[in-house]
Amino acid sequence: MDCIFCKIMEGEISSYTIYEDELVKVFLDVNPSNNGHMLIVPKNHTLNLDTIDSSTLMHIMDIAKQMKKLVEDRLHADGVTLLQNNGIAQDVKHFHLHVIPKYSIEQAILPIDEIFQKLKES
């Protein structure tokens, strides 16, 4: 299978990983629409909303709540958009949830290394 997210899960492609557990990996989007734009991706390949099992989907939503708090605390986001595409709207054919921070004042997109450091600091 030639799935970029599966390659990230296997370590074949590096990522700016923010969080990881036995079910999911959360990493920064390399083409962010805003500072802190991240993806929550299940480790097991599943195509979309029709194929993901309910327990994994609920776990992803729990992690989304944690990531929302993280971008509010560390990046001072004023809101968050959760986005999940299916069918022709889906660029990568592996279920993933976008967590896109929103800011009341427009911000320039910062280098991904800088955002990663802000999110990973203890």
Q: Catalytic site residues?
A: 96
Place of tokens 């599943």: 46
**DSSP string spanning the chain?**
---HHHHHHTTSS---EEEE-SSEEEEE-SS-SSTT-EEEEESS---STTTS-HHHHHHHHHHHHHHHHHHHHHH--SEEEEE---GGG-SSSS--EEEEEE-SS--PPPPHHHHHHHHH--
